[in-house]
Amino acid sequence: MSSLDCGGIFLLFDPDEVNVTRAEKAARIAQMLDELYPAPPIPLDHVDPYTLLIAVLLSAQSTDKKVNEITPALFARAGDAAAMTTLSTAEIADYIRQIGLAPTKAKNIRALSEILVVDYGGEVPADMAALESLPGVGHKTASVVMAQAFGVPAFPVDTHIHRNAARWGLSSGKNVQTTEKDLKALFSKETWNRVHLQIIFFGREYCPARSHDLSTCPICSWAASKKRIAQEAAKGPKGKKK
Ligand code: SF4
Among 9, 214, 229, the mutation site with the greatest number of ligand 1 atoms within 8 A of its Cβ is 214
Domain 49-150 has CATH 3.40.190.10: no
Ligand 1 centre distance from Cα of residue 42 (Å): 23
Q: Output the CATH code of domain 4-36+155-233.
A: 1.10.1670.10
Average pLDDT over residues 32-45: 96
Question: Catalytic amino acids?
Answer: 140, 158
222-232 exposure pattern, b = at least 16 Cβ within 10 A, e = fewer: bbbeeebbeeb
CB 164 within 8 A of CB 207: yes
- Give the pLDDT mean for 109-124: 98
Provide the pLDDT for residue 12: 42
Res 176 pLDDT > 90: yes
Q: Whose CA is nearest to atom 4 of ligand 1?
A: 207
Domain boundaries, the chain: 4-36+155-233, 49-150
Nearest-CA residue for ligand 1 atom 2 is: 220
Mean of the per-residue pLDDT values of the chain: 89
3-state secondary structure string across 157-220 = CCHHHHHHHHHCCCCCCCCHHHHHHHHHHHCCHHHHHHHHHHHHHHHHHHCCCCCCCCCCCCCH
In this prediction, residue 132 carries a pLDDT of: 98
- Is any ligand 1 atom within 6 A of the Cβ of residue 220? yes
The protein residue with its alpha carbon nearest to ligand 1, atom 6, reads 207
Q: Which of 47, 82, 30, 55 is nearest to 199 (CA)?
A: 30
